[in-house]
């Protein structure tokens, strides 16, 4: 499938702005494994083939287990996720599905108990950013299955 429009070429300044936000998120206070789960879960909700492919591969390259990735759609029923991850996933689902229930107080209380103010801001920015990418990729029909993760630096010590 060919994309409808190569938005990164049509609006390079806009692309660079979203990319800068993504760079901030990737260097934020949140651990990489949590960022990967949040990005993948939002992409599943939004049915973004390009982003599901990307974030699944990135998570595996970072050492995430296949079981936790397979079970992400059923994270509430599976015991492989920490309380912190559960809170982040609930917040991800709330902010990604705002039109359904908003951001309920009970989800806020759960996420508030697990994250500092800085981490809450960073988590919410991570969720907002992946939702921007999902909307661009779904809207412009970016094809899934073509992403290759960057080689990871070897640990030296």
150 in any annotated domain:
no
93 in any annotated domain:
yes
145 in any annotated domain:
no
Could you give the CA distance from residue 92 to residue 131 in angstroms, rounded to a whole number? 10
125 in any annotated domain:
yes
115 in any annotated domain:
yes
79 in any annotated domain:
yes
As for how many domains the chain has, the answer is: 1
The CATH number covering residue 79 comes to 1.20.1290.10
44 in any annotated domain:
yes
The string of pLDDT tens digits covering residues 117-132 is 999 999 999 999 999 9
pTM of the shown model:
0.92
Q: Which domain holds residue 135?
A: 10-139
The string of pLDDT tens digits covering residues 52-82 is 999 999 999 999 999 999 999 999 999 999 9
| pLDDT of 156 over the 50 cut | no
- In the predicted model, what is the mean pLDDT of the chain? 94
pLDDT of residue 153: 66
51 in any annotated domain:
yes
């Amino acid at each position: 499938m060919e994309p409808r429009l190569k938005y990164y070429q049509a609006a390079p300044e806009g692309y660079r702005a979203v990319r800068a936000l993504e760079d901030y998120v990737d260097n934020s206070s949140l651990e990489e494994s949590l960022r990967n789960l949040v990005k993948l879960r939002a992409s599943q909700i939004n049915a973004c083939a390009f982003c599901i492919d990307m974030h699944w591969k990135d998570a595996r390259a970072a050492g995430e287990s296949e079981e936790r990735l397979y079970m992400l759609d059923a994270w509430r029923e599976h015991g492989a996720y920490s309380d912190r991850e559960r809170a982040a996933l609930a917040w991800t689902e709330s902010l990604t599905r705002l039109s359904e229930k908003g951001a309920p107080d009970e989800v806020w209380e759960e996420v508030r108990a697990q994250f500092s103010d800085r981490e809450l801001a960073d988590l919410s920015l991570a969720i907002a950013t992946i939702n921007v990418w999902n909307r661009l990729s779904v809207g412009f029909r970016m094809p899934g299955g073509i992403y290759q993760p960057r080689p990871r630096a070897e640990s030296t010590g």
